[in-house]
Amino acid sequence: MKTMKENFTEEQMKDARQLCGILNTTSDGKKNIFLAIANAYMDGMAAGAAVVAAGTVK
């Protein structure tokens, strides 16, 4: 995970802004579902990166 001292690319910032925009337009009743799905996706991406970094995928 990036620390506050690390810089993000313009593409990463654009994606983050887009995600925030989607969250802001999501109804209150569906925000929890949206956040759960977004967190699961990000956790999956982090797990995949960790597997690749560990060299267990060929």
Look at the pTM and tell me if it is higher than 0.75: no
Instruction: Please name the residue that has the structure tokens 């960790």.
Output: 50
Mean pLDDT, rounded, for 31-37: 94
d(CA 58, CA 53): 11
Does the pLDDT of residue 11 top 80, yes or no?
yes
Nearest Cα to Cα of residue 35 among 45, 46, 50, 24: 24
Burial of 16 (0-12, 13-18, 19+ CB in 10 A): exposed
Does the pLDDT of residue 1 top 90, yes or no?
no
Question: 4 falls in which pLDDT band (50, 70, 90)?
Answer: low
Mean pLDDT, rounded, for 13-30: 93
